[in-house]
Amino acid sequence: YLLKTLDNGESVRLQYRSLHKISKPQADQQPQHVVQNGS
């Protein structure tokens, strides 16, 4: 049970990380554009 929970947690963590990685570049690019425009 503990192992299963750990595996599940790791899987969710990996998925969350992948999602964050994919959405991070977009979020990073947008603020940069806003900052450039503001400047």
Mean pLDDT of the chain: 64
Residue type present at position 33: H
At 32, the pLDDT band (50, 70, 90 cuts) reads low
Separation of alpha carbons 20 and 14, rounded Å: 10
Supply 27's token pair: 């979020």
Statement: the pTM of the whole predicted model exceeds 0.75: no
Angle, CA 3 vertex, CA 1 and CA 17 arms, to 5°: 120
Instruction: Look at 7 and 37; give whichever has higher pLDDT.
Output: 7
At 24, the pLDDT band (50, 70, 90 cuts) reads: low
Mean pLDDT of 2-28: 69
What pLDDT sits at residue 15?
77
The residue extents of the domains of the chain are 1-39
